[in-house]
A and B are shown apart, each in its own frame.
Chain A
Amino acid sequence: MTAPPIEIKDLHKYFGELEVLRGISTTIQTGEVVCLLGPSGSGKSTLLRCVNLLEQPTSGTILIEGEDITDEDADVDGLRTRIGMVFQQFNLFPHLTVLRNLRIAQRKVLGRDTAEATRIAEEMLARVGLSDKVNEHPSRLSGGQQQRVAIARALCMNPDMMLFDEPTSALDPELIGEVLDVMRELADDGMTMLVVTHEMGFALQVADRVIFMDGGVIVEEGPPNEVLRNPQHERTKRFLRAIEIED
């Protein structure tokens, strides 16, 4: 496929009177890992959620592998199977075991039979290092383990790209590392990733590009070394200074 995985053109999003996104344009290439940075309220999560239409854009277009998902006739459910999503609050299904969490969409959306769905679920669970938790209920897992299961659940659909919405923000500090390790391996395997995060270390080491957003616009973007080490804009500098003081 020649079309880039994600192409965003002049995206605007209003919540009532409030303009949260004020004209975002960017393209994400196959295998690229892009981190979205910025203060809270800058619109980065909204941007991410627009990409799989959890938020309906007010205007502008988003092309997923060349298909316009903002078109009224777009097959939204079909598109979403190609886009894996990982949430801050994990959002595992609490009434189902880990195995069933990983199997249900494969069975009901992709129409795989139980045996195949189980095989793929076990393969993905091994990939995130949780093969021994296959029959547990989510509530019996730590936050870090739950997030790794959530990543495995998304991978079961064989997505072409993954969206991460602050995947480590709800975790205790000692559990962040295990989730970032899984994400790093995914990136090494060539997955296209768009990640909203506050983990500067991860952005520096893993991202091919970082996008700094503030007030609903892209303030600055580029290789992490340049944007994070030598920011050009005053707002980026201020943000990075504040983050460092926090650390």
Chain B
Amino acid sequence: MASEVVLRRRRIQRIRRGAMYGIGIAVVVGFVLFADWETIRRNFFNTEIARDMLPEVLTVAARNTIIYTALAFALGLVLALVLALMKLSSIAPYRWFATSYIELFRGLPALITIILVGFGFGIAFDWKIPGGTLGKGSIGLGLVAGAYMAETIRAGIQAVPKGQMEAARSLGMSPSTAMTYIILPQAFRIIIPPLTNEMVLLIKDTSLLFVLGTTPASKELTKFARDFMAQNQNATPLTVVAIVYLIITLPLTYLVRRLERKTEAEKR
């Protein structure tokens, strides 16, 4: 009796699975049959337009995206380390400052911060941040990245067992010596995967820098693509920069996955 019930249930499951495959195949076949392939090809995969983008899409646009990311990440990392240490400080005003900073910049759209840094200071103090788009853009993005990474670093420091600090202090190390040589090296090992994720987010956020206005030499990937689209009345540039973005970000996400697996293996 019981086995008959099990058999029936299995048959129902098999039918249901078959139906799922059927629906999926029908959707794909329908799309292939009815899509206007010529229009899609001409507008998204136009090889002539793609060829026109070379080499500037790599030598200027991709290069700028990477430079903006690197500078913003470097600034963000330093800022984040200071904020994380302030947040863990025994001095209350330091903690308040760090918390306010982190909550403020995580709560605002990154675009607002970029506009504030790019134009707000100039209007308010009659003083411009030097370095053009590069200077304004990396500072704006770095201020935001610092807020996010500060929380990551703080969590990493707190993930180091308490006994490590106690052992270091028992050997006569000052708090800063213990932090520098014992706690932070261990914390950074823990947070390299999440920090790499932050970097991937940062790469994508460089596309916001178009608001600062760009010269031909300072365009990053997204702005470069938009200008090319406007010139040619064609969407192919988007496809091209999408591929370039993926070429930059996919290896990083792959690296994160490998690092995470390695950390997991070490824990066991």
A interface residues, Cβ below 8 angstroms from B: 52, 54, 77-78, 80-81, 83-85, 87, 89, 91-95, 104-105, 108-110, 139, 150, 153-154, 157
Contact = CB atoms under 8 A, between A and B. Distances in A.
A81 B171 contact: yes
B165 to A, nearest CB: 9
B16 interface: no
B227 interface: no
B172 A77 contact: yes
A151 to B, nearest CB: 12
B174 interface: yes
A52 B167 CA distance: 11
Contacts of B170: 52, 54, 80, 83-85, 154
Contacts of A108: 173, 177, 181
A95 B189 contact: yes
Given A87-B166, A89-B163, A91-B167, A77 B186 contact: no
Contact of A80 (B163, B169, B181, B266): B169
Q: Which of B164, B171, B181, B182 has the most CB of A within 10 A?
A: B171
Contact of A54 (B166, B172, B182): B166
Nearest to B170: A85
A106 to B, nearest CB: 9
Interface of B: 161, 163-164, 166-174, 177, 181-182, 185-186, 189, 266
A91 B173 contact: no
Contacts of A85: 166-167, 170
A48 to B, nearest CB: 11
30 contacts: A52-B170, A54-B166, A54-B169, A77-B169, A77-B172, A77-B173, A80-B169, A80-B171, A81-B171, A83-B170, A85-B166, A87-B166, A89-B161, A91-B166, A93-B168, A93-B186, A94-B186, A95-B189, A104-B171, A104-B181, A104-B182, A105-B172, A108-B181, A109-B171, A109-B173, A109-B177, A110-B172, A150-B167, A154-B170, A157-B172
B185 to A, nearest CB: 5
Contacts of B189: 95
Contacts of B161: 89, 91
Contact of B167 (A83, A93, A109, A157): A93
Contacts of A109: 171-173, 177
Contact of B163 (A78, A81, A91, A104): A91
A115 to B, nearest CB: 19
Contacts of A84: 170
Contacts of B172: 77-78, 80-81, 105, 109-110, 157
Contacts of A150: 167
Given A95-B189, A104-B181, A153 B171 contact: yes
A124 to B, nearest CB: 13
A109 B177 CA distance: 9
A118 B258 CA distance: 35
A85 B167 CA distance: 8
A154 B172 CA distance: 10
Contacts of A154: 170-171
A231 B239 CA distance: 86
Nearest to B175: A77
A36 B181 CA distance: 33
Given A87-B163, A87-B167, A105-B171, 12 more contacts: A54-B170, A80-B172, A81-B171, A81-B172, A84-B170, A85-B170, A89-B161, A91-B163, A93-B182, A93-B186, A108-B173, A139-B266
Nearest to A163: B170
Nearest to B164: A91
A105 B163 contact: no
Q: Which of B170, B174, B186 has the most CB of A within 10 A?
A: B170
A105 B173 contact: yes
A42 B171 CA distance: 26
Given A52-B170, A54-B170, A105-B172, A93 B177 contact: no
